[in-house]
Amino acid sequence: MYNERNYRFLLKDLSSLEGVGIKTANLLKKKKINNIFDLLWKLPKTYTDRSLSSKIKDLRIGENQTITLVPIKYSFPRIRNLPNRVLCSDETGEIDCIFFNSYEGYIKKILPLGKHITISGKIGRFRNKYQLTNPKYISENSSLIKQKHNTYSLTDGISEKVYNKIINQIIQKIPLLKEWHSKEILSKFDNISWNDSIKELHKPENIGNYKKHFYKRLAYDEIFSTFLVNSEIRKKIKRIKKKRKKIDYKKQELIINSLDFSLTNDQKKVLKEINNDLSSPNKMFRLMQGDVGSGKTIVSFLAAINTINSGFQVALMAPTEILAKQHYNLAKKIFPQNFKVRMISGKSDYKEKKETLKNLELHKIDIIIGTHAIFQKKVSFKKLGLIIIDEQHKFGVNQRKKLSDKGGDNCDILLMTATPIPRTLTMTMYGDMDLSIIREKPMSRKPIQTYSKLESKIDDVLKFINKEIKLGNQIFWVCPLIEKSKKLNHTSAIKKYEYLCDLFPNQVSLLHGKTSIEEKEIILNNFLQNKFKILVSTTVIEVGIDFPNANVIIIENANKFGLSQLHQLRGRVGRGHKQSSCILLFKSNLSENAKKRINILKNSNDGFIISEEDMKIRGFGDILGFKQSGIKNFKLADPIHNSDLFLLAEKEIRRIEKSKEDISKFKPLIKLYDRADIINDIA
Ligand code: ADP
Ligand code: MG
């Protein structure tokens, strides 16, 4: 019978199941299977069909077969290394069942003399006689054996039989859950219930049947629950009332007119969206998504200026000191003279820091720029009105939620990311925020020319960069990290540095993960000031830094990087007015598939398109930033194959939001599918 709390059975500990002891439970826990629900997604890979039985005379050696027979004689030799043996027969012949390491008592119990027993296993032959060694499928009840037995990719230490027993037990006990979806949604999946879908999912004949309605329904449940949680967070944040900011459009125009470029249409559109949020009575929680070099910084600065002009303070957080410094320098240049701009850095001395903290509390500072240090507990603001976070793609939902709580109700939040990802992923990862997208790149930008070259043709490359250096341009040379026994290795960068030093004396510097922060900053500053020409590095340079004079990037061993990552790397150049180039070096000729991928990169300069195409070829797991993002891994849903379900879920969420539908009926769904802390205060 249905009961409101039925779903809780699924959240029970595994040890509540028959036959699951502490040992098995612990083995499963190691695989992150903590409760009954988790185990439902461990799907069979194949199955062994034990449903047809044979007579002994017809047995085929080396195959899994099922026989019904009668044990007729025990032989327990009591000599070390000699196995116990049970002679069995049917009306057509005899077979030996051989047991290593099994006790007499146990054997007598499972193979009682004179009884009809069904047994299944791989048939062997020894000294002209059939035998079955350590058979696992033995029962007096033939129907338990004569069926299709699923094969799972097994967790060490748990046998297939035990696995099947556990899963079958769960499938039988699966509680009836009240349907949470509307009739319209359900009709898209042939009206199949959650319970029936799970049962179908585990049927041997349905292995790999991911186009069937039961599979889609379950995938939809996953997607929908994620979106629902996102929607709840968004709604919750939006319900927070704040003091409206009064935008001074005249002052905004003054700043825009003082720039040496005009804003792109997308920049204008996004600025408008942000301004609308700032001046609304509800808290802003917005993500600005745009490719590298799409000009996010200036938009966020205009938002900051508008916030300050309406009497509030702003905090701007960058992922690194260098980027913070670059933002700081730009702010000093662009912001009105009377604004008090400060930077907080790991390097500021104690006295200076103390002074800054005091002035923040007294509202004697309008905008503070720094790394995560600006969110330490001891930092407090008199009137914080906006938090801006640059390049935040390493934050998960939980961290974002915490962030939005910070700064108090009057504080709007603007996040920026340069990781263009396909729409289905954006919906999944950032659905808790409102979204502003900059797709268009500044007009003055010439598209980067992308070439691929064999490493053996390095002389051509050297000729090319020689020419560029003579024209006064600078070059990035990127070497991938070599992973050796889990320790990252910088030898390839060091070797390349030495090699290039010989060819271009006094013109080369090196940066890698072991370079100290201070040293790194000096090197990057020298590069910015054109004090040397070639910067050899591993991928340690943040994408956000602007090097207007660098127009060539060489990427070695380019097949070690994903397309989105290559695109981001190449975005380090091409920010000035000059024609820029990206040269991808390969150790050997490209395979057809690799060629296809590289062509995507050559033919497009749009990070959204590139990531979409890359995802189609490689699957979504490898897309840049996806793994680190803290996003839960879907068990069934796939952003590529199920993109229709993502759209359906989004539409349904919008409908629910609009109609202000009561969402308490989704409580079991949320509890089952998403047990993150953030859910607790919703359901
Ligand atoms: P990102 O979106 O990667 O953070 P930035 O904001 O750093 O990009 O902008 C990259 C460069 O483009 C900067 O040098 C910036 O001054 C310049 N820029 C921004 N907007 C425009 C524009 N509309 N026209 C021309 N150049 C622009
Ligand atoms: Mg940036």
Spell 15-43 as b/e; 16+ CB within 10 A means b: eebeebeeebbebbeeeebebbbbbbebb
Report the pLDDT value the prediction gives residue 262, as an integer from 0 to 100: 94
Indicate the DSSP class of residue 682: T
pLDDT value for 276: 97
Per the document, the length of the chain is 683
- In terms of Cα–Cα distance, which of 584, 592, 642, 589 is closest to 617? 592
- What's the pLDDT at 292? 82
* pLDDT recorded at residue 623: 52
Please give the distance, rounded to the nearest whole angstrom, from the Cα atom of residue 576 to the centre of ligand 1.
9
Residue 2 CA to residue 475 CA, distance in Å, equals: 68
What pLDDT shows up at residue 683? Answer: 38
User: What's the pLDDT score for residue 413?
Assistant: 93
Q: What is the pLDDT of residues 138-195, one digit of tens each?
A: 999 998 899 888 887 766 677 777 888 888 889 988 888 999 999 999 999 999 999 9
For residue 391, the ligand closest to its alpha carbon is 2
Best residue among 256, 259, 294, 570 to mutate for probing ligand 1, ranked by most atoms within 8 Å of CB: 294
Nearest CA to ligand 1 atom 23: 263
Lowest-pLDDT range of 100-104, 330-334, 623-627: 623-627
Q: In whole angstroms, how far apart are CA 683 and each of 40, 107, 655, 668, 672? A: 23, 52, 20, 9, 11
Which residue type is seen at 238? K
Ligand 1 atom 13, closest CA: 295
* Cα(294) to centroid(ligand 1), Å: 6
Distance CA 592, CA 676 (A): 42
CA dist., res. 424 & res. 431, Å (int) = 10
Cα 133 to Cα 338: distance, rounded to the nearest angstrom = 88
pLDDT in tens, 642-672: 889 999 999 999 999 999 888 888 988 988 8
- Report, as an integer, the average pLDDT of 113-120: 95
Q: Is pLDDT above 50 for 678?
A: no
Nearest CA to ligand 1 atom 26: 442
Mean pLDDT of the region 338-345:
93
- Nearest protein Cα to ligand 1, atom 22: 442
Lowest mean pLDDT among 205-219, 374-388, 488-502, 624-638: 624-638
For residue 267, give the ligand 1 atom closest to its CA.
Answer: 23
Residue 409's pLDDT is 79
pLDDT band at 484 (very low <50, low <70, confident <90, very high): low
Average pLDDT over residues 578-606: 88
Q: What is the mean pLDDT of residues 526-541?
A: 89
* Candidate CATH numbers 1.20.1070.10, 2.40.128.30, 3.40.50.300, 3.40.1390.30; the one for domain 449-604: 3.40.50.300
316 CA from centroid of ligand 2 (Å): 12
Q: Is the pLDDT of residue 506 over 60?
A: yes
Mean pLDDT in the chain? 87
Q: Ligand nearest 293 Cα, by number?
A: 1
Report which DSSP code applies to 31: T
pLDDT at 540 over 50: yes
Q: Residue 482 has what pLDDT?
A: 66
CA of 335 to the centre of ligand 1 (A): 16
Q: What is the mean pLDDT of residues 489-500?
A: 84
Q: Which pLDDT does position 453 carry in this prediction?
A: 92
Percentage, residues of the chain above pLDDT 70: 92
Query: What residues are in contact with ligand 1 under a 6 Å CB criterion?
Result: 261, 263-264, 267, 290, 292-298, 418, 442, 444, 544, 546, 575
- Domain(s) labelled CATH 3.40.50.300 in the chain stretch across 249-438, 449-604
Q: What is the CATH number of domain 49-149?
A: 2.40.50.140
pLDDT of residue 639: 80
Q: How confident is the model at residue 487, as a pLDDT?
A: 62
264 CA closest ligand 1 atom index: 23
Beta bridge partners of 511: 537
pLDDT tops 70 at residue 545:
yes
Ligand approaching nearest to the C-alpha of 437: 1
> What average pLDDT does the segment 416-428 reach?
82
Could you tell me how far CA 85 lies from the centroid of its own chain? 53
Instruction: Locate the ligand 1 atom nearest the alpha carbon of residue 292 and give its number.
Output: 3
Q: What pLDDT does residue 253 have?
A: 96
Higher pLDDT, 419 or 143: 143
Distance 15 CA to ligand 2 centre (A): 50
CA distance 274 to 193: 42
Specify the range with the lowest mean pLDDT, choosing from 468-477, 524-533, 608-617.
608-617
Interval between CA 323 and ligand 2 midpoint (Å): 8
Residue nearest to atom 9 of ligand 1 (CA): 295
Provide the pLDDT confidence category of residue 624 given band limits of 50, 70 and 90. Answer: very low
Weakest mean pLDDT among 1-15, 111-125, 304-318, 402-416: 1-15
Instruction: Determine contact, residues 568/611, Cβ cutoff 8 Å.
Output: no
CA 493 to centroid of ligand 1, rounded, Å: 30
SS3 call for 567? helix
Tell me, in angstroms, the distance from the centre of ligand 2 to residue 327's CA.
9
Residue 223 has pLDDT above 80, yes or no: yes
What is the enclosing helix (H) or strand (E) of 10?
A: none
Confidence band of 563 (pLDDT split at 50, 70, 90): confident
Q: How confident is the model at residue 33 (pLDDT cuts 50, 70, 90)?
A: confident
Give the mean pLDDT of 593-614.
87
Ligand 1 atom showing the smallest separation from residue 263 Cα: 23
Answer with the residue of higher pLDDT: 153 or 124: 124
- Whose alpha carbon is nearest atom 17 of ligand 1? 295
For 386-405, how does the pLDDT look when each residue is reduced to its tens digit (9 = 90+)?
999 987 656 666 667 777 77
For ligand 1, atom 25, which residue shows the shortest CA distance? 442
- Residue that has been written with the tokens 């189609």 in this structure: 616
Is there a contact between 497 and 576 (Cβ–Cβ < 8 Å)? no
Q: Where are the alpha helices (DSSP H) in 45-153?
A: 104-110, 142-145
CB atoms within 10 A of CB 539: 20
Q: How far, in Å, from the CA of 26 to the mean position of ligand 2?
A: 45
Confidence (pLDDT) at 577: 79
pLDDT of residue 485: 54
Question: Closest ligand 1 atom, CA of 438?
Answer: 2
Residue nearest to atom 10 of ligand 1 (CA): 293
Determine which of 388-397, 491-500, 526-535 has the lowest per-residue pLDDT on average.
388-397
Q: Are 117 and 71 in contact (CB under 8 A)?
A: yes
pLDDT for the residue 509: 95
Nearest CA to ligand 1 atom 15: 295
**Domain 249-438's class?**
alpha beta
Mean pLDDT, residues 525-536: 93
Residue 115 reports pLDDT greater than 80? yes
**In this predicted model, what pLDDT tens digit does every residue of 62-106 receive, in sequence order?**
999 999 999 999 999 888 778 999 999 999 999 999 998 888 899
The proportion of the chain whose per-residue pLDDT surpasses 90, expressed as a percent, equals: 47
Q: Of 271-280, 281-290, 388-397, 552-561, give the lowest mean pLDDT range.
A: 388-397
* C-alpha of residue 559 to centroid of ligand 2, in Å: 26
- Rounded mean pLDDT, 465-492: 81
Residues with CB under 5 Å of ion ligand 2 are 544
Q: How confident is the model at residue 483 (pLDDT cuts 50, 70, 90)?
A: low
Bridge partners of 452, per DSSP, are 584
Query: Which residue has better confidence, 70 or 596?
Result: 70
Most confident of 9-18, 77-86, 403-412, 497-506: 497-506
pTM of the model: 0.77
pLDDT at 393: 55
pLDDT (tens digit, 9 = 90+) per residue, 261-278?
999 999 999 999 999 999
Q: Reply yes or no on whether the pLDDT at 627 is more than 60.
A: no
Give the best-scoring range by mean pLDDT among 203-212, 374-383, 547-556: 547-556
339/313 Cα distance (integer angstroms): 10
Ligand 2 centroid – CA 426 distance (Å): 19
Query: Residues of CATH 2.40.50.140 domain(s) within the chain?
Result: 49-149
Please check whether residue 569 is in contact with residue 479, taking contact to mean a CB–CB distance below 8 angstroms: no
> Which strands make up the sheet holding 341-344, listed edge to edge?
341-344, 367-370, 313-317, 384-389, 412-417, 285-290, 434-438
